[in-house]
């Protein structure tokens, strides 16, 4: 098992697929060999989709030697199986480069290629812009693929890099020969502008067809040649002529005929249209040069319905809604122009990358928080033309998994809240203004985003109450009073609902039928529901305070105080909190005396939202320590689970529940023996808050070691679907380790580093983001994006004690330094 930082991945890291694409745009991935794979641009998952003849190639010519032309990928390492071997579209029979090494540092990917015959060294840098707080900048449907070629020889080398792409617009399916079939008529068109040239892949489908769209392969480079449309034919004429053309002189010629076959063509004549764009440059001895390609896409249309597996009402499915990006761009060409015209996109992306990857955070934490961001940019999430954010729980290989921005799954996610808080604010608005019924029951799956009928099912205790804490988190991070006012009536109903629905005996402890994220109902008092309830009461009270609803605030605070005592007395067993049932087997799917990994999840949300302890601190710490002690397995070989399996023999992981004191039910809750990365991160963040940093890091390492590129994809943590939203809990680990706490209404930002004394780590606030640096002599805050005006800045320095300053206004590029002298300026805390 490799350590961290992760070593580069070899070409046999078959599980590795680094997705390119923005928020709400879909993705295409690059595999460990530098190969294009998993084309998922068309508003739904499509894992495993490979486009034929879609690849990059390199030709290098040195004086006096035969030119060398190869597919610009690492070697195919096998297994080599297929019912027709590798079909022709894979071009497995062409030479490839000798070695490839993939270094994925999301959002930047690097792949290094070497080959003695090719003679030059090549590094691919690929990315889609990602800039904290800027959803639009991070939501571009396209990517930059930059091949940096270095000539280490003492001779001139003439280099061509050619990108080829099959037209994917209108694909309806795949024939038995693994070639695509199409609706409409795909066509490839060359376009050329002063600062951009390339091939537009389109189709004559109508603009409101769900498959309508465009894809562009382009460059800003002026030294190009192209074959915008290969020869069409029954056989491989097109690719043979392309390859021979490229090998011959490194320059591509446009074909002068459509096909070598005479018309008329049969109805089943291929509609496959492949086009190639080549960039050529001579490289002097020692020279390095970039060969930059832009790959952009534009698939504007979605059905106006989830059409998911849960089966929410799909009445409007026949209508079309548009992606938000389609309101910004009219075509893939416009996207490409935007990438060319907006250099700040790359600069901001690189700044964010540096903030993370040049941080002093443990490498496994950087690996985790960066890689899991992919979930936000996968087909798991999307934005509609009206700006609405919506998401699945995850992505099945070929469809969304579990629709409706599920409150009890998204409950765990922290990345969006801290990096793209507008998305989470929008989700809260949906939940409280549209999905909370008059009686306070919140539909935990939102169907209002499509205007279809509300979902009718049990309310989810954890999701509903967690949404209240999260609304507080969003308001606190943004100071968005309009959001709060809009949501307040719903929040009030949703919180009151807990008393009537889930507190069967009115003693302030939730104890009736409680549907939850394990897709079953808990009965009787349990600390998952009640820790969430206590956190929600505190959050609600704080918001009531702000709105001047003092009676309500007092009542909820009082309920929290009462509940805290009762819950603690009822459920704390001296080591951890459990579920109290007379007969754990009276009903199925309970846990009873078990040690539940999520047992104080409500407390973690409270910590993140700055609510403090909602249960006694010593018991909370004992409980999370018990979770680590009992539920983390360094080797799962002896574990018996008949459930889904995300970690297995020889691997480490945190199980959802264990019964260290006996009492395992005959049939415990359905996921009890599983290992979920989202819960591992939830617990890791909480362990860090409780000062158990080594234990926290052990969990993070376990997750990321399982996702090593060989066994699983580092950029895909699956649960019920790929790119599962719960994995976004990972960002909470970073927040906990830095102890970052931003309170917009009061303009205060504070840090309580739990690593150090030296620390360098990114931070975000509602308006700006940057890097915190702590050294033995003080602390420094550098803003890298946005703006930040603070009334108060505090750093709990591990050696120097509390440092504070304020008011301050931070400007990008002008670091603010706090030294021990700032100690004097410490004010009394709010």
Window 366 to 405, contacts with a copy of itself (CB under 8 A): 394-397, 399, 401
In the set 67, 94, 808, 820, which binds a copy of itself (CB under 8 A)? 94
Q: Are 821 and 776 in contact (CB under 8 A)?
A: no
Does 712 engage in binding with a copy of itself (CB under 8 A)?
yes
Site for a copy of itself in 309-348 (CB under 8 A): 309
Q: How far is the CB of 368 from a copy of itself (least distance, A)?
A: 18
User: Could you tell me how many residues of this chain bind a copy of itself (CB under 8 A)?
Assistant: 75
Tokens coding 276: 């190639």
Binding region for a copy of itself (CB under 8 A) out of 189-197, 358-366, 572-580, 666-674: 666-674
The end-to-end CA distance of the chain, in Å, is 47
Kindly write out the interface string for residues 203-242 of this chain, putting x where it contacts a copy of itself by CB under 8 A and - elsewhere: --------------------------------xxx-xxx-
Burial class (CB in 10 A: 0-12, 13-18, 19+), 323: buried
**Residue 233 vs 490, nearer CB to a copy of itself:** 233
In the set 5, 8, 67, 92, which binds a copy of itself (CB under 8 A)? 92
Tokens coding 751: 């840090």
Can you state the angle between helices 527-547 and 601-608, rounded to 10 degrees?
Answer: 30
Q: Are 509 and 525 in contact (CB under 8 A)?
A: yes
Select from 520, 660, 514 the least CA-distant residue to 597: 660
Distance from C-alpha of 155 to C-alpha of 217, rounded to nearest angstrom? 31
Tokens coding 288: 């390095």
Does 504 engage in binding with a copy of itself (CB under 8 A)?
no
Q: How far is the CB of 87 from a copy of itself (least distance, A)?
A: 6
Site for a copy of itself in 157-176 (CB under 8 A): 175-176
Q: List CB contacts of 244: < 8 A, sequence separation 6 or more.
A: none
Distance from C-alpha of 352 to C-alpha of 375, rounded to nearest angstrom? 17
**Residue 71 vs 361, nearer CB to a copy of itself:** 71
In the set 63, 64, 80, 116, which binds a copy of itself (CB under 8 A)? 80
Q: Are 169 and 201 in contact (CB under 8 A)?
A: yes
Does 710 engage in binding with a copy of itself (CB under 8 A)?
yes
Dihedral angle sign, alpha carbons of residues 804, 805, 806, 810: negative
Distance from C-alpha of 277 to C-alpha of 292, rounded to nearest angstrom? 11
Q: How far is the CB of 437 from a copy of itself (least distance, A)?
A: 24
Does 88 engage in binding with a copy of itself (CB under 8 A)?
yes
Site for a copy of itself in 519-538 (CB under 8 A): 520
In the set 244, 481, 586, 694, which binds a copy of itself (CB under 8 A)? 244
Dihedral angle sign, alpha carbons of residues 378, 379, 384, 388: negative
Q: How far is the CB of 120 from a copy of itself (least distance, A)?
A: 19
Tokens coding 229: 């449309």
Distance from C-alpha of 230 to C-alpha of 342, rounded to nearest angstrom? 32
Distance from C-alpha of 784 to C-alpha of 348, rounded to nearest angstrom? 8
Site for a copy of itself in 617-656 (CB under 8 A): 636-646, 648-650
Q: Three-class SS string for 696-749?
A: HHHHHHHHHHHCCCCCCCCCCCCECEECCHHHHHHHHHHHHHHCCEEEHHHCEE
Kindly write out the interface string for residues 563-602 of this chain, putting x where it contacts a copy of itself by CB under 8 A and - elsewhere: -------------------------xx-------------
In the set 63, 64, 79, 343, which binds a copy of itself (CB under 8 A)? 79
In the set 85, 286, 489, 691, which binds a copy of itself (CB under 8 A)? 85
Under DSSP, is residue 577 helix (H, G, I), strand (E, B) or coil? strand
Residue identified by tokens 């020969």 is 177
Q: How far is the CB of 646 from a copy of itself (least distance, A)?
A: 4
Cis peptide before 571 (omega within 30 of 0): no
**Residue 409 vs 624, nearer CB to a copy of itself:** 409
Does 67 engage in binding with a copy of itself (CB under 8 A)?
no
**Residue 95 vs 798, nearer CB to a copy of itself:** 95
**Residue 53 vs 556, nearer CB to a copy of itself:** 53
Site for a copy of itself in 256-285 (CB under 8 A): 260
Does 673 engage in binding with a copy of itself (CB under 8 A)?
yes
Q: How far is the CB of 724 from a copy of itself (least distance, A)?
A: 9
Q: How far is the CB of 672 from a copy of itself (least distance, A)?
A: 10
Does 757 engage in binding with a copy of itself (CB under 8 A)?
no
Backbone angles phi and psi of 267, in degrees to 5: -60, -30
């Amino acid at each position: 098992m490799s350590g961290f930082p992760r070593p580069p991945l070899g070409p046999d890291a078959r599980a590795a697929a680094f997705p390119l694409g923005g928020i709400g745009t879909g993705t295409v991935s690059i595999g460990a060999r530098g190969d294009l794979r998993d084309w998922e641009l068309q508003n739904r998952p499509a894992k495993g989709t490979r486009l034929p003849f879609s690849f990059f190639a390199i030709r290098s010519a040195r004086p006096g030697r035969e030119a060398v032309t190869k597919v610009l990928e690492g070697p195919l390492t096998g297994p080599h199986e297929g019912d027709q071997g590798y079909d022709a579209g894979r071009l497995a029979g062409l030479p490839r480069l000798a070695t490839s090494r993939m270094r994925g540092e999301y959002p930047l990917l690097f792949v290094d290629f070497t080959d003695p015959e090719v003679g030059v060294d090549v590094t691919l840098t690929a990315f889609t812009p990602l800039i904290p707080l800027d959803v639009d900048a991070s939501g571009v449907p396209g990517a930059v693929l930059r091949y940096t070629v270095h000539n280490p020889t003492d001779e001139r080398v003439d280099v061509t890099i050619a990108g080829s792409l099959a037209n994917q617009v209108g694909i309806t399916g795949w024939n038995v020969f693994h070639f695509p079939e199409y609706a409409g008529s795909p066509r490839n068109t060359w376009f050329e502008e002063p600062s951009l040239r390339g091939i537009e892949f389109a189709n004559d489908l109508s603009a409101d067809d769900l498959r309508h769209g465009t894809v562009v392969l382009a460059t800003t480079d002026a030294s190009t040649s192209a074959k915008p449309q290969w020869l069409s034919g029954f056989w491989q004429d097109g690719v043979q002529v392309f390859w021979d053309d490229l090998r011959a002189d490194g320059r591509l010629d446009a074909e002068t005929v459509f096909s070598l076959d005479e018309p008329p063509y049969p109805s089943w004549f291929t509609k496959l249209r492949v086009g190639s764009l080549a960039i050529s440059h001579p490289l002097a001895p020692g020279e390095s040069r970039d060969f930059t390609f832009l790959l952009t896409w534009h698939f504007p249309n979605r059905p106006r319905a989830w059409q998911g597996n849960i089966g929410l009402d799909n009445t409007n499915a026949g209508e079309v809604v548009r992606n938000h990006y389609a309101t910004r761009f009219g075509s893939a060409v416009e996207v490409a122009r935007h990438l060319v015209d907006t250099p700040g996109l790359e600069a901001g992306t690189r700044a964010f990358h540096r903030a993370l990857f040049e941080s002093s955070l443990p490498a496994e934490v950087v690996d985790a928080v960066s890689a899991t961001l992919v979930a936000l940019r996968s087909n798991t999430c999307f934005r509609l033309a009206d700006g609405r954010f919506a998401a699945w729980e995850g992505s099945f290989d070929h469809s969304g998994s579990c629709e409706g921005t599920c409150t009890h799954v998204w409950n765990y996610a922290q990345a969006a809240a801290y990096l793209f808080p507008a998305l989470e604010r929008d989700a809260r608005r949906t939940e409280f203004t549209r999905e909370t019924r008059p009686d306070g029951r919140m539909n935990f799956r939102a169907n209002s985003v499509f205007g279809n009928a509300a979902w009718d099912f049990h309310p989810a205790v954890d999701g509903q109450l967690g949404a209240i804490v999260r609304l507080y988190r969003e308001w606190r991070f943004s100071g968005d009073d309009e959001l709060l006012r809009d949501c307040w009536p719903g929040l009030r109903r949703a919180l009151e609902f807990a008393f009537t629905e889930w507190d069967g005996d009115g003693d302030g402890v939730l104890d009736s039928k409680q549907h939850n994220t394990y897709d079953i109902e808990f009965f009787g008092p349990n600390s998952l529901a009640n820790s969430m309830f206590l956190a929600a009461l505190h959050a609600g009270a704080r918001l009531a305070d702000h709105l001047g609803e003092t009676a309500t605030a007092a009542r909820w605070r009082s309920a929290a105080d009462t509940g805290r005592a009762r819950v603690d007395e009822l459920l704390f067993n001296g080591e951890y909190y459990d579920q109290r049932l007379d007969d754990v087997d009276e009903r199925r799917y309970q846990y009873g005396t078990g040690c539940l990994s999520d047992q104080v999840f409500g407390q973690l949300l409270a910590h993140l939202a700055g609510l403090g302890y909602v249960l006694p601190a010593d018991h909370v710490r004992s409980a999370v320590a018990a979770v680590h002690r009992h539920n983390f397995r360094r080797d799962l070989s002896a574990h018996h689970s008949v459930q889904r399996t995300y970690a297995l023999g020889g691997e480490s992981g945190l199980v959802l529940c264990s019964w260290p004191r006996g009492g395992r039910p005959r049939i415990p809750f359905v996921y009890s023996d599983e290992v979920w990365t989202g819960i591992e991160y939830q617990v890791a963040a909480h362990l860090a808050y409780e000062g158990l940093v080594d234990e926290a890091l052990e969990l993070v390492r376990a997750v990321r070691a399982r996702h090593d590129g060989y066994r699983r994809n580092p950029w895909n943590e699956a649960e019920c679907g790929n790119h599962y939203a719960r994995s976004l809990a990972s960002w909470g680990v970073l927040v906990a380790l830095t102890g970052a706490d931003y309170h917009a209404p009061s303009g205060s930002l504070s840090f309580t580093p739990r690593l150090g004394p030296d620390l360098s780590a990114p931070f975000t606030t509602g308006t700006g983001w940057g890097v915190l640096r702590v050294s033995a002599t003080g602390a420094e805050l550098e803003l890298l994006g946005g703006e930040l005006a603070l009334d108060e800045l505090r750093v709990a320095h591990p050696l120097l004690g509390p440092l504070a300053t304020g008011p301050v206004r931070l400007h990008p590029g002008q670091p603010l330094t706090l030294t021990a002298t700032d100690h004097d300026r410490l004010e009394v805390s709010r």
